[in-house]
Amino acid sequence: MDRTSLLAALSLSALVAGAPAAMAQGAGKPDLARAKQIAETVCAACHGADGNSATAVNPNIAGQGAEYISRQLQHFKAGIRVNPIMQGMAAPLTDAEVVALGIYFAQQKGKPLAAKDPTLVATAQTLYRAGDAASGLPACSACHSPNGAGIPRNYPRLSGQHADYTLAQLKAFRAGERGNDKDGKDVQGRVMAAVAQRMTDAQMKALADYAAGLR
């Protein structure tokens, strides 16, 4: 995919973006009290009850987009996104709980993080804002927004995310372990997998550290 077709893929994802919203409506009023209960009794062990995880392998989900969270839970349930721990966690959730959990965690306040390696900031900032013409890497800001907050529905927040988790996901996308389901249902994942193909290890490392501290 060249840069233009990557950006054209954006409008493709916009087309499927209506699905979770329609699901939320079909499920009636989201039961946020139920979501809070699940969050405090189940998710808290790894993500924190308010979605702020103390451990870098477990992503922060506080303040992440509601539809994005729900989509990931559905993908874990369906085996479209593969992770033994999260597939087990998502399996018993009903569609209504998946929607409510997305809204609940989106409403929690994320704790800001800072970039740890000052020597990587200049390189990362250029890549984040302008991409890399030599490899056809598009600017991250085009899809994840200039301040890393993401764009609701399709594009997740990167700011405030543990760098180790972000780096692991970039590698998983590049290796075809995420965004590469055999039925091609993961439209958004495919877009990000195409982006990750164009990234070197050094660029991934710099961007993961930098994106954590964006605000």
Q: Is 108 in the site for ligand HEC (CB under 6 A)?
A: no
Q: Is 173 exposed, middle or buried (0-12, 13-18, 19+ CB in 10 A)?
A: buried
Instruction: Select from 24, 62, 66, 89 the one that contacts ligand HEC (CB under 6 A).
Output: 89
Instruction: Check binding of 163 to ligand HEC (CB under 6 A).
Output: no
Among 83, 123, 125, 145, binds ligand HEC (CB under 6 A): 83
Selected binder of ligand HEC within 24, 43, 96, 120 (CB under 6 A) = 43
Residue 100 in the binding site for ligand HEC (CB under 6 A): no
Window contacting ligand HEC (CB under 6 A); options: 14-22, 25-33, 71-79, 106-114: 71-79
Position 63 contacts ligand HEC (CB under 6 A): no
- Give the tokens for residue 12: 């493709």
d(CA 68, CA 71): 5
Which residue carries 């800072």 as its tokens? 114
Which one among 24, 30, 113, 144 touches ligand HEC, defined by CB under 6 A?
144
Q: CA–CA distance from 123 to each of 21, 52, 159 (Å)?
A: 38, 28, 17
Closest approach of Cβ 116 to ligand HEC, in Å? 16
Nearer to ligand HEC, 114 or 185 (CB): 185
Rounded Cα distance between 142 and 193, Å, is: 16
Contact 210, 120 (CB under 8 A): yes
Only one of the segments 20-28, 82-90, 111-119 lies at the binding site for ligand HEC (rule: CB under 6 A); that segment is 82-90
Q: Is 47 exposed, middle or buried (0-12, 13-18, 19+ CB in 10 A)?
A: buried
d(CA 196, CA 214): 20
Show the tokens assigned to 214. Answer: 């964006």
Number of residues that bind ligand HEC (CB under 6 A): 47
Those residues whose C-beta lies under 8 Å from the C-beta of residue 119, and which sit 6 or more positions away, are none
Binding site for ligand HEC (CB under 6 A): 6-7, 10, 13, 38, 42-43, 45-47, 57-59, 61, 64, 69, 71-73, 83, 85-86, 89, 101, 137-138, 140, 142-144, 154-156, 158, 166, 168-170, 179, 188-189, 191-192, 195, 199, 207, 211
